[in-house]
Amino acid sequence: MKKERLIVVGGVAAGMSGASRARKLRPDMEIIVFEKSGYVSYAMCGMPYFVADRVKTVESLVFYNASFFQENRNIRVFLHHEVKRILTAKNTVVVEDRESGKEQTYEYDKLLITTGARPFVPSIEGTNLRGIFTLRQLEDGIAIKEYVLNEKPKTGLIMGGGYIAMEMAEAFSEAGVKVTIVEKMPEILGTMDWEITERIEKELERNGVTLIKSDSVTQFTGRGSRVVGAVLGSGLTVNADIVLISVGITPNSAIAKEADIRLGVAGAIGVNAKMEASIPGVYAAGDCAEAHHIVLGRNVYVPLGTTANKQGRVAGENIAGGDAAFKGIVGTSVFKTFDLEVGRTGITEKEAMSEHMDYVANVIEHISRAHYYPGVSRILVKLVADRKTGRLLGAQMAGTEGVSKRVDVFATAITARMSVDEITELDLGYAPPFGPVNDPVLVAAEQLQKQV
């Protein structure tokens, strides 16, 4: 009797978690993964630290290689193989071997699309010059590190002011590169409120990063085939021996669209709580798919590695005949740039305003440890809550220590739909090296409680 076959398109977080979950529940299922790059199951979020040489080897970023899945989980992995077309009427995919150029057709019973996202590269002159990079796949990080080591650039330009830009500003600086960030909007990090971004800008400035806002690159200039600078819309010129284009990502969903699979928010693949796409037998997960937002109550596009892993597991379980559901996200994210830790969860005040919510918001600053304990610093906390019910809607934080732990407390509270009143009653851990008796979490909630 022919085995039921699952084909997974893409082999990073969502793809391999989905394949592994399906294998655990269905030892009899045939599982094939096609990955267009040379790696599977790796830590994309670790690439800035690899470029900075804090992570010494690329192998350190790889959780499991292809042979592990083949030898230990009976999952066939084809590296350097790209699915070019999905023919849902025939339950087949057309796959190109990127090394030989040959195409082959494979049948499937179930299909999991985890094609991730792709970096957006604007159509401006000079983007083909040597020394201009994007950072999305592991090979991108390897190429950037090799360029830094071999070419020893002295000046760098980062186009865009998002999370990756903040992390890579530190990475380039640690490699001896003088960094300029060019952001076309009036503020960096459009996903955060100005009280937080102001603190980040000061940290960048303190570490010698030049920040140019409300301006954009119109042309890259080169000497021979190598980039040497950029021209901005304002007429300014910036010297740059290395360039990172980091102006955002878009769902890598073109292959799904061509197969008449419904797309949703921001062009991501539309899915339900079971991670089912619009065509029976087809599932999608990770950075190519939508995710339900618990606060907003609708699907959104917020690509994060943690979400990809969870969505992949849900898809894998349902593919294997289970009945799992993805409960949703609250958009929790944290990052570090130089000595500053930054985090957010839920929605910002800007988002609450755009959603026409009746909300209250406050900003407090409080100590990170007991005031007498060495190394004490200050943490900035901003909260947003529903004016009528007091339900916490969002939190943002910035400080030199303890941010990630406290953002997770707020993320848990938002997921549990807790009010600021309930948050003030939380029994949080206390010891002088870790926090004051009145933790910043509690102080921020107590202050906002007065406005509800």
As annotated, the active-site residues are 45
Q: What does the alpha-carbon distance between residue 249 and residue 137 come to, in Å, rounded to a whole number? A: 12
Closest CA to 169 of 126, 209, 213: 209
Q: What does the alpha-carbon distance between residue 167 and residue 47 come to, in Å, rounded to a whole number? A: 10
Q: Give the pair of three-digit tokens for residue 185.
A: 């909007």
Q: What does the alpha-carbon distance between residue 334 and residue 423 come to, in Å, rounded to a whole number? A: 21
Alpha carbon of 48 to those of 55, 58, 175, 285: distances in Å? Answer: 9, 12, 11, 24
425: left (phi over 0), alpha (psi -120 to 50) or beta: alpha
Q: What does the alpha-carbon distance between residue 291 and residue 270 come to, in Å, rounded to a whole number? A: 9
Alpha carbon of 240 to those of 11, 183, 226: distances in Å? Answer: 34, 15, 10
DSSP 365-398: EEESS-TTSTT--EEEEEEEEETTT-BEEEEEEE
Total residue length of the chain: 452
Q: Give the pair of three-digit tokens for residue 132.
A: 């201009």
Please give the backbone phi and psi of residue 101, each rounded to the nearest 5 degrees, phi first. 85, 0
Alpha carbon of 326 to those of 26, 267, 271, 282: distances in Å? Answer: 20, 20, 10, 16
CB 315 within 8 A of CB 121: no
Q: Give the pair of three-digit tokens for residue 320.
A: 């294997």
Per-residue exposure over 287-296, b if at least 16 CB sit within 10 Å of its own CB, e if not: bbbbbbbbbb
DSSP 214-243: S--EEEEEEETTEEEEEEETTS-EEE-SEE
Q: What does the alpha-carbon distance between residue 63 and residue 43 come to, in Å, rounded to a whole number? A: 7
Per-residue exposure over 156-176, b if at least 16 CB sit within 10 Å of its own CB, e if not: bbbbbbbbbbbbbbbbbbbbe
Per-residue exposure over 115-137, b if at least 16 CB sit within 10 Å of its own CB, e if not: bbbbbeeeeeebbebebbbbbbb
